[in-house]
Structures are given as C-alpha cells and as structure tokens.
Structure 1
Amino acid sequence: MNYKNIKAILVLGLLICSSLSYSQDSNFHIYLCFGQSNMAGSAPAEAQDSIVSSRFKMLSAMDCPDRGRVMGNWDTAIPPISDCNAGISPADYFGRTLIENLPDSITIGVINVSVGGSRIELFDKYNHQDYIETAPDWMIGWIENYGGNPYGRLVEMARIAQKDGVIKGILLHQGESNPNDTLWVNKVQDIYDNLLADLMLDPENTPILAGEMLSDEFGGRCHGFNHFINLLPGVISNAHVVSSAGCPGMDDGLHFTSEGYRMLGKRYGKKMLEVNYGILNSK
C-alpha cells in the first residue's frame, strides 16, 4: 500500500471519528435504571406527574403502540417510563430534580429496564437463563417484553443512547426478592462491572445509586435488607445509598405510594447532584 492510500485511509478515519463525536452531545446526560417493581413503579401516576420538562427524556426499552412509543426512540419522560403499563417510578423525580438544578443547556435522559418480582440474578449477564427457567409463569411475559434478556436489552438501548449523549450513572432499586442473600452485594458488583465493560464506561465517572427498601416505619416487610444495601459502598467504590426513611408505603409492605416514589426519586436526584455535579444544596 503506497503513501497516498495510507493518507487517504487516515483522513477517512478522522472524518468518521469527527462525525461520530459531533453527533454525541456532551450536554445530554443519560442514566441507566434497573431493578424490580419499585424501580418499574407500582403506584399510579397522578395529574401532577404529567407535567414534564422537554429537557427530561426517556428511551423506551420496548414498543408501546398504545402510547405511540417505539423501542430505541427518545420521548419526553411522561410516566410510565419503564414498561408500557407501569406507574410512577423513582426515576421520574430523579430526572425532574436534576433538571430543576442544572443549567438549561443540560438535557437528562433515562433508560429503565425493570421486572417486578425478579431476583438480582435476572440481570446476570451470563447466568440469567438459569434464573428464567425457574421464574413464575406471570413473570415470563414481562421478561419477554425485554426480548427474554433484560440485561441484554439494557445494554442494547444504552448503546443506542450513547450515539446521542453520555452515560453518567446507574440507578438500582432491587432486593425484595433476594431476602437474606449475603451474596447480593457481590452479584450487584458483577452486574455493575459487566455494564462498565460492555459500555466502555469509567468507574470513576459512573456512580451507581442504590435505594433502600420500604422502611419499618411504614411496615416494610423487607426493611431488614437495607443492611445489605448499605454494604454496597464498601464493595463498589463509586456506590452510594439512597435512604427511604420517611417515604410512605402501601399497605402491602413492599411498595411505595405515589408520594413515596416522588420523595425517593428526589433523593436519588439530590444524591446524584452531589456525586456528579458537586451541588450540595439542591432544590
């Protein structure tokens, strides 16, 4: 290959790289969300929740024809922002809190892949199929909405999102289905490490926020699991815990009320504002 051909290839490569860089907006900050029903959202959205800034986006992880949503496309983050029939999620008021406290130049996007009742093993990159084979029938359809592989769908959607913006962190709410699981922290670490590797993310710039279960104050049946959640920062250096204290819950002792989700979501937002943006006194 002569010098002119080599030079042409290098120039073409630079043009391609420049084009890719130009399409990715550094002011479009994207957050990945996963977990079980509390991250999906189990309380109904109310009229106040339908008022959303156009700077807050969600990327649908499945087709929702009744809502005019197409998998892999961005829409304004009007709930539900996980599956087609979910309620309000902590991710809703997480995004709104960031928008309220960041410059108008910043847009926030979320991708929420959550399956009610699922154990953390559902998001195991390599062994999820073993868990799916033992999952109850009512959960299978939910999993199939994510192509039979929720972890794979999250990564697939995240790669689409990376063409438009920059992934800045991860939100997790899971644990009710892993009671007394002393290995839960290590399983979360494996998922986190796999996400970093698959999406080429820097751990120092990719915090993971984990929310506590419904507290004992509101009859939380799984409040004891908060012990394990609070061990996470000791295993993942960029992990942070979001308290659920004072967030109202439903009578089932598992799920938050709509107001509880709003409160918890704002706490996720405030924590991320501290960790990622250095804002300590947010609204």
Structure 2
Amino acid sequence: MKAYNFAFFDEGSKREIRRATVKAISIPGYQVPFASREMPIARGWGTGGLQLTLSLLGQDDIVKVIDQGCDESVNAVNIKKFINKMTGIRETEQTATATIIQSRHRIPEVELRADQILVLQVPIPEPLREVEPSEYITQRLHADQEYSAIWLMLFEQIMKHNKMTTGADHPVLVHQRYVMSPSPIPRYDNCKLHNSKALILLGAGREKKIYAIPPYTTVQSLAFNDYPFQTEDFSGRTCHLCGASAVYFDELIDEESGHKYYQCNDSSYCLQRLNQELL
C-alpha cells in the first residue's frame, strides 16, 4: 500500500485546484483565489507552481523543472525529486520532450508547442501591490479596470531615470482587459507570452492565487507611445560555449583576467547546441 496518493494530493484537492485553473483559463489574466495546500517545502519556494503541476500530472506525462534557466539549481533539483517520489513519472531536461514545464523566473528559449503546459512560480501575483497595499481595493481597481496608478508608477520611473526601470516582472495587459504580473521573468521573456501556442499557468501558493494565459492570447507589455517597451539588449553578443545569439544571456566575469563574457541562461538549450556540434 502506498503511503501517499498519486501526485501527493487526494483527489478532492486536485479537483479543487483544477476547478480554479479552469476558471483562470476562462478569464485570462484574472487572479482566481484557491485553497492553497500545505506542502513539504516552504512557501515562497514554488508551492503555487508545484500545486498546479501536481494537480495536472498523469502517468504518461514528462516533467521538466527549471530555476532561472538552470535545470540543476537547488530549487529545481528538489522539486524534481519530490515530483518523482510522488508520481514516478519521467523527467527530462529537454524542453521539446516535456509535456509540463515548471519554471521559476524564465521561459525556455525553445518555442513551446500547443501540446505543452508551462507552469510559472509566482511570489507576488498582484501587479498593483507596489502602489496599493489593500487587497480589497486592488480587487475593486481590477473590476473597474482602473490602472492609472501603475501608469503613474511607470511615468515616475521615466521622470527619474529617463526610462522604465522594471528589470523583471514588467506588468502586461492580457486580452485587452486585465493588467497582470507575469512573474519575475526578465523583460526579454515578456514577448514569449504573446500568442503563445502553449497554455501558461501561474501559481502563487503563499498568496493563494492562480491565473492563466490561454493559448493564442494577446499579451502587451505596458509602455508609452514615446517610451516604448524595451527588452534587455544582447545585440552583437554570443555564448562563449555554444556560439548562440539572440537568446537571454548571463553576464560572467573571469576572476583572473577580469574579462567579461556571456553564456546562455537556458542551460539545456546551450547543452543541446553543444551536443549537436559534437555529432
């Protein structure tokens, strides 16, 4: 007799999470409250994303877990170990092989397909939280589609720094209705949300919220006409390992020479390119 049900949760808990997920898919960008369960990992370390993943997994699924582009970080490795112990399903580091991809702070470089699901871990799901501490008031502002405070925040950044200074988690408008926090992905990844072929689910365990971007949904990063949205600029740079360009890079410095060089942030993408060169 197994000590735990398949995928850790009892079937009633899975159904409750799935119902919230279906509602989130039906109303793109809307934050759906759900009864976030206690998990054997601390809140803030991906419990929201993990609950989504566990509620969706089946025996035939293949899971990939990444943390800031890396498959072998502490967060990613421990979540994979837990999923494997609770399900026994296959794991992979190849984006193209996975059916469910759980990620923290990055969207893979390989374009996702319609038969894949991307689950993003979210620490703070409320895009209005920086300008309004009250949950009751933020709900009213969303209902009224009143986002002037966010526009004012971006305007103040331009007045102080002559540019928008959101390094990550830049707010987006989903389906011309809800302003949404895309999780702390870099600005470079915001464009991957627009008209994505894959279903994108976002879960915040500590804040008890689930929201979603269904496939082929319009997603626009907030910006002004005279100060358009700009991503990180890696033009003219290549990965020192695989030679890739037009991807999101980590900037590294050689301790001995002080020389600056660049490496693909997506570790499995870089490794795949290296293996292809060796064949």
TM score, norm. by length of structure 2: 0.29
Q: Which has the higher helix share?
A: 1
Normalising by structure 1, report the TM-score. 0.28
More strand by share: 2
